[in-house]
Amino acid sequence: MKEEFKPYIPADRVEKEITFSSVFLGILLAVLFGAANAYLGLRVGMTISASIPAAVMSMGVYRVLKRFIKRNTILESNMVQTVGSAGESLAAGAIFTMPALFLWAKEGVIEQPGMITIAAIALCGGVLGVLFMVPLRKALIVKEHGILPYPEGTACAEVILAGEQGGASASTVFAGMGLAAVFKFVVDGLKVIPGIVTAPIKALKTEFSTQVYPALIGVGYICGPKIASYMLAGGLIGWFVMIPAIITFGGDTILYPGTDTIANMYAAGGASAIWSSYIRYIGAGAVAAGGIISLIKSMPMIVTTFVDAVKGLKDGGKGTGLRTDKDMDMRINLVGILLVTVVIWLLPQIPVTFLGAVIIVIFGFFFGAVSSRMVGLVGSSNNPVSGMAIATLLIATIALKATGDTGAHGMLGAISIGSVICIIAAMAGDTSQDLKTGYILGATPVKQQIGELIGSVVSAFAIGGVLVLLDKAYGFGTEALPAAQATLMKMIVEGVMDSNLPWSLVFIGVFIAVVIEILGISVLPVAIGLYLPLELSTTIMIGGIIRWFIDKKNKNKEENNDASSGILFCSGMIAGEGLVGILLAILTVAKVAEKVDLSGSLNTGVIGGLVLLAVMIFCVVKFALPKKEK
């Protein structure tokens, strides 16, 4: 007989959860981490889970303000991270798709999207993602306890418990934020150190490059050496195999979609011109195939989850009557889903009939269930949200084209539908991790679900402003903000609608992904490395190497988990760089940025870049190394 789980706070004990301070701090962190993660995702094509740093920062802030705030409970700290992590997840779903709208606006295809448009689409997806997770909680969190590990949710509970018992992890996160903020400001604010260090390799007609940014090292450390090496492998295939091959054999050939000879393109723009015209299409095919392969492999799990979710609807949220088993009333839940369905139907930005809106909701529940179980097994970082978005976009675009809805109107509809479902999947995954944390700590599920809704609403309006600001300051699709995932989504929709994709290049990428899958290697990291510029993968690999070194040094393997000081420091670095990126965007729009630009009078060149990179590596190693016992 399975032993009944006992949470940290017993079910018969009532403690403060939703308070002014917990909600206010949660909203603040939701906006901050949402903005930081949006910036990171648009630059790197990857996002991180903010639950752990949000929990740590909440404890740190409560300690700083202990003179003004009565002693907080452990469940208040949990509520802060519940509300705060919602911003990161909603941002992750939004930046994968919605920048495509800004790219089309620059091309004159559609009108420039405003904050309200972005917020309305994000709000629909965010609210539905939370509501869909309500009937799934008992099936996935309670019944599967001990089977589905929910790594981030479990680690977050450990961090909060450590804080309750006197842990001092918050200073590590703040140190990472502060140092990364300084590094970022020196590189992109003062501009006295180059952001990219490049070494041409003439023998291979290519180049080797790395970026000098702390967030990338942080991403590599958090992902670990295996995932980082897969990304680097993809980059090496593109820059050290394909680009030299295209230049060597292309010569005076004009190869579609290029408009000039390969030789002229290389002479004018170097290896980067070849990557832009050809390799990114091959990478797009690999990413699309990798996402769909991940989805296909998950089909047995998908069916099981869907059946369990339907069974869970019979309960109505009443459960056993215990405080720790009380979900949102299912009648309220269903009314909320119906209202959002009507909003999707009436939103002019999503041109669908009521039946179409219902189909979006059904697909959303389906992918929300998939996402909730996937993060339970492999964590949020490996959740194939982009694969779900690609599958949705393909189906939506083909369906719209078949009904005669083509051109700008059809493309706008396809991206909007994809955005809603992508955000649903991201939010459902985050909600399930947070509910797992609450289950371990003894939180009240219905209060956490309300907290998730608060975070979703606030973050939806914040992300609209963040995307408009970043586009105005840097421009999506530029070197500063490649918006890799959104550019891929745009490419897919245009290719289906206009039938003008260079399909030969796309299918080369597809079969590269198939070969990688046959070899038993994780497809998506390799595909992302092939799709993104090499300088991103090399810096991420540096972080992975540091993690490998720390793991070797750390003799006590139990300390080597998501609550380690290295993970917390790198999470802080990612947040710090992202927030300074937003600050610099504000200064750029306000035309203040050029006043602090010292690049004209002081530029340290490659040497400065290498020195700063070495300093970053030293800082990460310093904080991540296990402390010697006195």
pLDDT digits (tens, 9 = 90+) for 499-539: 777 888 889 999 999 999 999 988 878 887 887 789 889 99
Flag the least confident range among 156-170, 254-268, 317-331, 524-538.
Answer: 156-170
Give the whole-angstrom CA distance, residue 355 versus residue 151: 38
Higher-confidence residue of 557 and 206: namely 206
Mean pLDDT within 559-585: 74
Average pLDDT over all residues of the chain:
83
3-state class percentages of the chain: helix first, strand second, coil last, to nearest 5: 75, 5, 25
User: Based on C-alpha coordinates, what's the Rg of the chain?
Assistant: 24
Q: How far is residue 135 from each of residues 179, 349, 543, 618, measured CA to CA in Å? A: 43, 29, 39, 47
Q: pLDDT value at position 487?
A: 85
Helical (H) or strand (E) element with 251: none
- Please determine, for residue 563, whether its predicted confidence score (pLDDT) is greater than 50: no
Q: pLDDT value at position 592?
A: 83
pLDDT in tens, 65-112: 766 666 678 899 899 989 988 888 898 888 888 999 999 999 988 888
Mean pLDDT within 309-313: 59
3-class SS letters over 310-343: HHHHHHCCCCCCCHHHCCCCHHHHHHHHHHHHHH
Higher-confidence residue of 603 and 348: namely 348
Give the whole-angstrom CA distance, residue 14 versus residue 30: 26
Residue 475's domain comprises 30-168+293-485
Residue 548 falls inside a structural domain: no
Sorting pLDDT into bands at 50, 70 and 90, what band is 562?
very low
* For the chain, percent of residues with pLDDT exceeding 70: 87
Residue 591 falls inside a structural domain: no
pLDDT in tens, 414-451: 898 889 988 998 899 889 989 999 998 999 999 999 99
- Please determine, for residue 301, whether its predicted confidence score (pLDDT) is greater than 70: no
Mean pLDDT within 334-340: 93
Q: pLDDT value at position 295?
A: 65
Residue owning tokens 């993968």: 537
Give the whole-angstrom CA distance, residue 286 versus residue 524: 8
- Please determine, for residue 308, whether its predicted confidence score (pLDDT) is greater than 70: no
Q: pLDDT value at position 304?
A: 67
Residue 443 falls inside a structural domain: yes
Mean pLDDT within 477-488: 82
Q: Alpha helix (H) ranges present in 238-325?
A: 243-250, 262-274, 280-297, 299-312
Residue 229: partners with Cβ closer than 8 Å, 6 or more residues away = 541, 544
pLDDT in tens, 177-214: 889 999 999 998 888 998 889 999 989 999 999 999 89
Q: pLDDT value at position 242?
A: 95
Mean pLDDT within 365-382: 71
Residue 569 falls inside a structural domain: no
- Please determine, for residue 287, whether its predicted confidence score (pLDDT) is greater than 60: yes
Instruction: Give the burial string for 176-185 (b: 16+ CB within 10 Å, else e).
Output: bbebbbebbb
Residue 372 falls inside a structural domain: yes
Residue 86 falls inside a structural domain: yes
Q: pLDDT value at position 559?
A: 46
- How many domains would you assign to the chain? 1
Q: pLDDT value at position 148?
A: 74
Helical (H) or strand (E) element with 362: helix 354-378
- Please determine, for residue 498, whether its predicted confidence score (pLDDT) is greater than 50: yes
Token pair recorded at residue 360: 């979006």
Sorting pLDDT into bands at 50, 70 and 90, what band is 128?
very high
Residue 536 falls inside a structural domain: no
Q: pLDDT value at position 331?
A: 83
Residue 549 falls inside a structural domain: no
